[in-house]
Structure 1
Amino acid sequence: MEQPLVTIVVVSYNHSRFIKENLDSIKNQTYKNIQLILGDDASPDHSVEVFEEWLKENNYPAEKNFHTQNTGLPTMLNECVELTKGKYIKMIAADDFLHPESIEKSVSALEHLGNEYGMSFSDTYAINNDSQIIQDIADYDAMGKVDPSIFKEDLLKGNRIAALTVLAKTEVIRETGKYDTQFIIEDYYRWLKISEKYLIAYIPEKLAYYRLHEENISKVKAEKIEKEAALLQMMFDKKGVAKSSINTAVEKFYFSGTELSEEYLTAYRAYPFHLKKLDFAIKKNLPIPLYKILKKIF
């Protein structure tokens, strides 16, 4: 098999403790035709020094995109895409790392599939801060091992892809536009845009190691992610595939008293499969018990 150039983008923010393990996993790939791009978003923990030390010790070439001011992940990724020379591209956070055969098996899958495929993803191990394998965070095997046309619909119901496992065609990343700075879940937005035009291949093997940190995600951030996921589903769902998850999410926000912006509500009302009675209740600010009664009646 030919070895087309693969670009691996490693992005860091306060990941100095894990950088060496990540870069070692790239150096130890069975696939060797790799362009390495390193990005750091002005980490205060000396991540850049760790990057530089590893490059020097291993005599390994890399493009560098080290910020002196924090800009956020989407801006960093967009800049790194501009530096990309490979036919394929993988983006990975510096606290995660790869199985030695990750690139080889991912490239092989895409090289043997047709042009209708835009990217591949795989199963992944979950690990703790000490790199010990822990309970899986999701059953990616069950979520991914379906017909690609069915997977298109499944993806509309929720993110089924661990970003660190993805290998995408660089031309597809560029074709589907820049990473959007308004979204926290910029990866899910990307997969939905790719899925509109291309099929997505699944490799039923654990080809990466995803770091689960001890600190829990904040309630505010978790709520924002949930809002964004429903909003993206509204944007991309043309057949009502995700209507249950969308309406359930909006109803949950209503029940919890979560404030929804007018922009968000406008998007919900424009979604052809929204619940009219829920929209009415939100508009009129109906008490929840009254809405539940109306829901039962109608």
Structure 2
Amino acid sequence: MAKQRIEGLVSVVITNFNRAAYIRECLDSILQQTYENWEIVLIDDASTDQSVEVAREWLEQNERFFPGDNQVLIHALPRNVGFAGAINCGHYMSRGEFIANQDSDDFSHVLRLSRQVEYLKSHPQIDLVGTNYYAFSSDHPEKKELATWIKYGDDIRKVYGKGGHCVCHGTCMFRGRLFDQVGGPTRRIDGAEDYEFIAKALNARADVNNIAEALYYYRIHAEQRSAHYYRKKGV
């Protein structure tokens, strides 16, 4: 039986591991969205820093500013299960018609959710849509560089068919029914879980596209997870 999802609601799924220094800015960027029908599902993967305390303090300070009946769920896992396990947990807990990924060390443009919801509503054949983004260094946040590896339209399926990657994980918004159909990433491919999810969706005949507008800000820093696999994320 298909999961009953809330029409129009965007479930913003944030996975976190030891990002206390950045998580407040991440959460602020969702609170400031022009699209107001959202919930936040924050999954902390057994952080050893003050991430959970910072997130809960942020919630206490800002809950009164939430539009409508919006809610923030902060779920601290009892042990570290890795990125795939954490994001699957968040996706399972989501209630929205749409699910938006968000990395806890990055932040979103204020128009991100509205642009992506508008796109999915006006393109019913599309199951998942990403966006372009700006990358910046924590040391020089004023210097932002537009990503050049993002692809569009039919080129996306061609790239993944050749084993390539051209959709930024943190920018993805997809219909909740897509996750209900194909599930999330497995724990078999350490460091390429985002690639695996897109490839799985395409193999299930899902249609994927990107919005050319840069609606996300990707932070480059020494402790970032992808630094273990790539020096830069296609920038």
Normalising by structure 1, report the TM-score: 0.67
Q: Secondary structure at the match of 2:180?
A: helix
Match of 1:125 among 134, 147, 152: 134
**Per-residue displacement from partner, 1:3-25 (whole Å, max 9, x unpaired)?**
81000011111100001100110
With over 3 angstroms needed to count, the CA separation of the structure-2 counterparts of 1:222 and 1:81, relative to structure 1, is: closer
Query: Is 1:71 equivalent to 2:75 in the alignment?
Result: no
Query: Is 1:211 equivalent to 2:219 in the alignment?
Result: yes
**CA distance in 2: counterparts of 1:215 and 1:26, whole angstroms:** 23
Letter in 2 for 1:192: A
Runs of 4+ deviating beyond 6 Å: 216-219
**CA distance in 1: counterparts of 2:169 and 2:84, whole angstroms:** 14
Match of 1:186 among 185, 193, 202: 193
With over 3 angstroms needed to count, the CA separation of the structure-2 counterparts of 1:170 and 1:66, relative to structure 1, is: same
Match of 1:20 among 11, 24, 34: 24
Q: Aligned residues: percent identity?
A: 28
Match of 2:172 among 161, 166, 175: 166
* Structure exhibiting the larger radius of gyration computed from Cα positions: 1
How many correspondences in the alignment? 215
Question: Which one has a larger percent helix, Structure 1 or Structure 2?
Answer: 1
Are the equivalent residues in 2 in contact too, given 1:125–1:133 (CA < 8 A)? no
Are the equivalent residues in 1 in contact too, given 2:136–2:218 (CA < 8 A)? yes
With over 3 angstroms needed to count, the CA separation of the structure-2 counterparts of 1:94 and 1:109, relative to structure 1, is: same
Identify the structure with bigger relative contact order (alpha carbons < 8 Å, sequence gap 6+): 2
Normalising by structure 2, report the TM-score: 0.84
Letter in 2 for 1:25: S
Query: Unpaired segments of 5 or more residues in structure 2?
Result: 1-6, 231-235
Task: Give the RMSD, CA atoms, in angstroms.
Answer: 2.2
Letter in 2 for 1:175: Q
Query: Unpaired segments of 5 or more residues in structure 1?
Result: 224-298
**Per-residue displacement from partner, 1:64-100 (whole Å, max 9, x unpaired)?**
2211211111111111112111011012111000000
**Per-residue displacement from partner, 1:132-154 (whole Å, max 9, x unpaired)?**
144537404xx424xx2332112
Query: Is 1:139 equivalent to 2:145 in the alignment?
Result: no
- Displacement of 1:218 in angstroms is 9.2
**CA distance in 2: counterparts of 1:132 and 1:34, whole angstroms:** 27
